[in-house]
Structure 1
Amino acid sequence: MSPRKAAALRATDDARTLRDHLVTTAQRLLAEGSAATLTVRGIARAAGVADGVLYNHFPDKDTLLATAVRAHVDEAQRALGPLPAPGEAAVAGNLGIYLRAGLDLHRAVLPVFASLLATPVVLTRFAELPAAHSDWRMLLSDYLTGEQRLGRIAAEADTTAAAAILVGICHDQVLGALLPGMSSPTVDPDAVVTTLLAGIGPLE
């Protein structure tokens, strides 16, 4: 272990590797401001290491930032905890849980993605990295499909469109708060679910 590496990790009394330390530092810096303003020197100083240390673990700054974004999204996904499975409890209540989880997830990750709009290469590399946890949107789609198979959602319902509506609500609520002059009226998740089920509930 190099002296600089030892010092950086001793400062936080952390057992992580230096690579993990760099990712965590970049993750924190992304949450604090725009990716466009981050430099190798700035990341290194925040991590307490020499500038060149970054290149011992990553080919360039963009790859480090993409890895940091991946770690941030994985943490946000993990924080959602277990979500309802098809057949459990009531569909309306379950969809309310999914929608609230989606809103929490989007509030956690969209500000970071918004800061990356000026650095599309980071977003491209992020998309190439494997996820540690199942994507919330995929879990939602699988849930709706499973409920449809059980007959708790109408057979003729378009569950892909239903998922897109709930995802769209998350985008509207969170992006509206991020963009100046674009704020959207706050919606009640239960009211959204009630409205949605009025169109996809089983026919009587």
Structure 2
Amino acid sequence: MKNITTILFDIDGTLLDTREFILQAFEHALRTHEYEVPDREEISAQVGKHLEECYIALSGSKKSLQKLVQAHKNFQDQNFHLSAMFLGVRETLEHLRGKGYKIAAVTTRFKRTAFQTLKDADILDFFDAVIYGDDVAAVKPDPEPLFKALQILNEKPEYTVMIGDSHLDIEAGKNAGTKTIRATYGFHKDQMHEPEPDLFIEDIKDLLKIL
């Protein structure tokens, strides 16, 4: 992949294996407030959207929305141990840093949990910028968070690649005018690979050969 100076990473399912951290929070909140708990495939299909939007879809109601969201946050505050870094992430980030790339993370998750999981993984220092869901008015697939990262980095979309495991990451990259790489090992590995990214990777370390 030529002429790339900047790399934007999704966090969940791309850098961090947060599957249990996220799914168990949804299951806990729905069960606590006596809603039927959908199967994990249905819950996974909502992941990547705003939390409120997820719970409206999963509960079919706005009635207990704030209680569900609060239960979700409370569960995650007590269970950061359920988040883990994918193998090879540190090695890959060190390699990319060594080659002089600017690196940012762009996530829909709010700072209160996303910051902590990055800190616990001890990879915060690799990023020139981190854009959280509460930093922007519109989240992926809207290009706003990507544009915000590029503004901070003083870089242009045409020299940038967006890397993520969800179609929302790829759509956001295309909407922003960046190159795109989809991680097939992540949270959304069983979902349809549309829209088509520029490249697929099966392991984070595949980036060592690409960039």
Q: Which TM-score applies when normalising by structure 2?
A: 0.30
Tell me the TM-score normalized by structure 1: 0.31
More helix by share: 1
Q: Name which structure has the greater RCO, CA cutoff 8 Å, separation 6+.
A: 2
